[in-house]
Amino acid sequence: MNQSVMPSYGRTDVAFERGDGPYLFSDDGRKFLDFGAGIAVTALGHNHPKLVTALTEQAGKLWHTSNLYNISLQQRLADRLVANSFADTVFFCNSGAESVEASIKLMRKYHSASGNPQRYRMISFEGSFHGRTLATVAAGANDAHRAGFGPTVDGFDHVAFGNINEVRHAVSAETAGIMIEPVQGEGGIRPADPEFLRDLRALCDEEGLLLMFDEVQTGVGRTGKLWAYEWSGVAPDVMSSAKALGGGFPIGACLATEEAAKGIVPGTHGSTFGGNPLAAACANAVLDVLLEDGFLANVLKMGQLVNDELKRVIGDHSNVIESVRGAGMMWGMKCVVPNGDLVANAFDHGLLTVPAGENVVRFLPPLIVTQDHIHEAVGIIDACCKELES
């Protein structure tokens, strides 16, 4: 087998050559309904005309200058993210892991700048995923992501997802902050109880800790609000974003309050590419669409249809799928059969889904799907269930 691409992935044997809205077309002539969206990335589907225009127009003007100079499109993007979130300030990078890494560094630096350099440890959660860099695999809960890559970066204490007493007990004089996904994505679409997020906020306020939400997967409209934290009624001090932010063009962002970011001064952190003109043009175009009146309301409405329809189907096939959970356009089907069997069967029927932890199959449709796309996808799941139970 040709291994010129390093075999870090077990790949499905297909290559796509063209996309159109929620559909992908493979080079061997097959058509797929893409309810994986490149793992919650292509939120506006493929080849969205506004994204294509934004990218190609910018490509004809200017690609990259570095962050040694002002970048007006990056400034505009930051202004809009600030205007539409809890944050006062934004750092740009190129991926989810980098946005989490920046968040961790910012939280440590905050305490150091506050005269408490001994506060460097983060509390994170069982089932969590925060990326694949050395610090983010240490923050995440997956042992396989750390095995053989030691020594593991020090400073992460894992507790049960949803248990405020365990969190309280884990706080020490060395704790800097708490990091959590409002809905665990890779872990199996496990939504945090809004009450739990409020308890974390209160605990952080009591103890002088920073609260960080990893919204790399949940953010940018995925749960039907621009940010998933809006469901909880409390805001974090720090938040990571990436995946859908550029609609498929790589860009990440660490958003923070002015206070939380007070240690980040010139020379403390950086990125060569972060928020370059091409990436910022794409992300601005994504926001143009997402912030249009009624766009997110429609995501919620369509998301509810996904939930209702999946629940109707699994009612008849509880020996294949036992439950559905999630929010907005982020749904997980907890399987009875191995989740890989459902993913493979759906693929054979022309539907792309994504597996996750806890034997879950993820539905992460682009946010632009219509009733017809949803009925088509759920019809395929119905057909898969019939095949898998026979």
Ligand X SMILES: *Cc1c(COP(=O)(O)O)cnc(C)c1O
Residue 237 vs 309, nearer CB to ligand X: 237
Q: Cα–Cα distances in Å, from 229 out to 50, 300, 366?
A: 27, 15, 20
Structure tokens at 145: 């992501």
Residue 19 vs 185, nearer CB to ligand X: 185
Residue 214 vs 309, nearer CB to ligand X: 214
Q: In whole angstroms, what is the distance from residue 288 CA to residue 285 CA?
A: 5
Residue 196 CB, shortest distance to ligand X, in Å, is 17
Phi, then psi, of 158 in degrees rounded to 5: -95, 135
CB atoms within 10 A of CB 158: 18
Which positions ≥6 away from 53 have C-beta within 8 Å?
285
Q: In terms of C-beta density within 10 A (0-12 exposed, 13-18 middle, 19 or more buried), how is residue 144 classed?
A: exposed
The amino acid sitting at 128 is S
Residue 181 CB, shortest distance to ligand X, in Å, is 5
Residue 34 vs 181, nearer CB to ligand X: 181
Q: In whole angstroms, what is the distance from residue 319 CA to residue 336 CA?
A: 6
Residue 208 vs 270, nearer CB to ligand X: 270
Residue 330 CB, shortest distance to ligand X, in Å, is 10
Phi, then psi, of 354 in degrees rounded to 5: -130, 130
Residue 167 vs 216, nearer CB to ligand X: 216
Q: In whole angstroms, what is the distance from residue 331 CA to residue 325 CA?
A: 6
Q: In terms of C-beta density within 10 A (0-12 exposed, 13-18 middle, 19 or more buried), how is residue 310 classed?
A: buried
Residue 159 vs 337, nearer CB to ligand X: 159
Residue 95 vs 353, nearer CB to ligand X: 95
Asked if 253 contacts 93 with a C-beta cutoff of 8 angstroms, the reply is yes
Residue 187 CB, shortest distance to ligand X, in Å, is 9
Kindly report whether the peptide bond that precedes residue 250 is cis, defined as omega within 30 degrees of 0: no
Q: List residues binding ligand X (CB under 6 A).
A: 95-97, 100, 129-131, 181, 185-186, 214, 216-217, 242-243
Strand partners, 125: 159
Phi, then psi, of 21 in degrees rounded to 5: 60, -125
Q: In whole angstroms, what is the distance from residue 253 CA to residue 266 CA?
A: 17
Residue 254 vs 287, nearer CB to ligand X: 254
Residue 178 CB, shortest distance to ligand X, in Å, is 15
Structure tokens at 181: 């996904």
Q: In whole angstroms, what is the distance from residue 337 CA to residue 352 CA?
A: 18
Asked if 141 contacts 125 with a C-beta cutoff of 8 angstroms, the reply is yes
Residue least distant from ligand X (Cβ): 96
Q: In whole angstroms, what is the distance from residue 242 CA to residue 251 CA?
A: 6
SS3 assignment, position 286: helix
Residue 93 CB, shortest distance to ligand X, in Å, is 9
Residue 100 vs 167, nearer CB to ligand X: 100
Residue 216 CB, shortest distance to ligand X, in Å, is 4
Residue 41 CB, shortest distance to ligand X, in Å, is 9
